[in-house]
Amino acid sequence: MYSQRKDLYMKGYQLKITIKGSRPPIWRRVIVPEMITFADLDKIIEEIFGWTHEHLYEFYFSSIDETFALDPDLDDNDVDTVYIDEWMWEGEQFTYIYDFGDYWEHTICVEKIVSYENRYPIVLKSKGPYMIEDCGGIYDFYATIDDAEAFNLEDANRQLKKYSFKISETDKNNNLHAEFNNYIDQYLEESSMKQQLAEKIIADNPDDFNISTLEEMFLQYSKESLKTIAKHHKFTKYSSLKKAELSKWLSNHLLETSYMKRILENTSEEEIEYFEDALHRNSIWIPEDLMADSLFLCTYGAYNQFGIYYIPDDVQKKYTELMTAGFRKKLKRKWMLACYSESACFLYGIIPLDKFTEIVNFYEKETYSRKEVQELLACLEEADIYAFTLKDNLLIDEELLEDDLYKNLLNAQGNVPFYVPADESEFIAYGEFNCEDPNEYTQRFILYLQNAYNLTEDESIEIFYTIQDAIRANYPIEALLDMLEELFDLYGKKIVRGKKIDKAIGELQKLMRNTRLLALRGNTLAEIQQTKEEKRLDRSVVVQETSNKIIPFNSKKKIYPNDLCPCGSGKKYKNCCKNK
């Protein structure tokens, strides 16, 4: 199951479709909506090239050796039921063939994946006329090209608006994003049912859930359980106390103002939400795994075999007294910084506090001083529930402390800029789920595992996350292949040598290009290469603009032939503007 990190959005695929063998090229650039079938895509192609739907057709993906064809002898064709989405990778090229007699071959390139809310296609740009049916193929077409009707962009798009592809409720439920929504709905429904059961049990047995004091609650525990609570809180000098004495002693210490406040300062936002929900409802149902992980909830409330959690009256009173508006604001600021720190550790591994403060202020639209950020992070570090540490004015993922790995990473990162997504929710999600979900670039690897090795979706996704983690840590391709082979062994699969190993290497390399790397400070290799290309092009423009101009140099400073030219071209002065 894909996780909930990505927000739901409508998207489309920008395709460039070219008639193979046409000179000059005849092509259309078109955006098609997501969640359409291959039969729908055929209708669009035939419309924009002037085909008349009188011949058979097929789509062929050479990269995965997959064909989707119209077979008139079958009642249930793949083209009518299979959606194009799983095959629409940015940069992917595939073939569409129309009329196996004249054999019109179209090359289709997925140029980009775009945000697109319309349910009909639209042609952005075109070159060349409509085609002529049954003329003998591409070479005979040019003998009759004068008879070809000119392509009219506006008329074509008016016609395409009639192709409004609906998404049925059944199809929506089969959508990748909808799968998670269904999972969440089921989870919420189950939680609601358990909460209703808890309320019924409480209503039928009200006296069992009325506890006046924390001491009274502790008296229901065994002495060993009380000692365990004291041990977790790192208390001392209690071993000689009898059970009644220990219950009273422990209650007094835990409700002491300064101590309970310190416990609250080190409590997560999720724990506080559950605790306050129990306060407002008198009692609630809480998952067992959450209780097992929360010292705060276990200490200050009772939990029975039905999963019902309830809080003694004196604890409620003390909590209300401590949770002032100012204290709550301080907690929220710490929780906010905890989210940012976890995301920063996931994306960068290590980050200077000044840069971290800058990122926090970018998202919060406020001005937090570096000192305040450092103090709040120090409190979080002391709580020992977050996987980072502060050292040498750096925020460091604690896993990098072993053997001073963070120093090696810092050297590897050099001057690479930090990847800071414009969308705050994307940044927060990296730390919240401690993973990078499959996207339009990396989903291809999951599909490859399913198609090439007959793995299930769940198996493929599990392998994907494992390999992606290794890529983030800069594993070389040889190590990734070994890891892939070991993972395949778990599912009774083998990497076949020869062409299949070449294919595996190719898919791993594509995944490596589009995975966010610690060594690149959260950037992907593809993004870094694109940035370098854009800078190179910008520099070329500057050179072209200045090549025919006289540059007004500073006459007071002598420029030597081997100096860099002041025009900014990057060339030596003697090879650039010296003679101008």
Q: Are 30 and 128 in contact (CB under 8 A)?
A: no
State the pLDDT at residue 558.
52
pLDDT in tens, 496-553: 666 667 788 888 998 999 999 999 999 999 899 888 777 766 665 544 544 444 444 4
State the pLDDT at residue 130.
95
CATH topology of domain 11-172: 3.10.290
Rounded CA separation 512/541 (Å): 31
State the pLDDT at residue 539.
61
Question: Where are the chain's structural domains?
Answer: 11-172, 180-323, 326-433, 443-513, 547-580
Q: What is the pTM of this model?
A: 0.57
CATH 2.60.120 fits 326-433, yes or no: no
Alpha helices in 491-573 (DSSP H): 499-513, 525-546
Residue holding tokens 């949770």? 323
State the pLDDT at residue 177.
46
Largest CA distance in the chain: 106
**Mean pLDDT, each 10-residue run in order, the chain (580 residues):** 40 93 92 92 95 92 83 71 85 91 94 87 94 91 90 92 73 48 51 66 66 92 92 90 94 95 88 90 79 88 83 94 92 87 93 93 84 84 77 90 88 93 89 83 85 86 92 90 87 70 85 93 91 69 47 46 61 62
Sign of the alpha-carbon torsion through 405, 410, 412, 418: positive
Rounded CA separation 477/471 (Å): 9
DSSP string, 374-441: HHHHHHHHHHT-SSEEEETTEEEEGGGTGGGHHHHHHHHHTTPPPP--S-HHHHHHHHHHTS----TT
Rounded CA separation 388/411 (Å): 19
pLDDT in tens, 176-199: 444 444 444 555 456 566 666 666
State the pLDDT at residue 379.
79
Q: Are 69 and 57 in contact (CB under 8 A)?
A: yes
State the pLDDT at residue 44.
95
**E strand or H helix that includes residue 394:** strand 394-397
Nearest by Cα to 83 from 170, 144, 9: 170
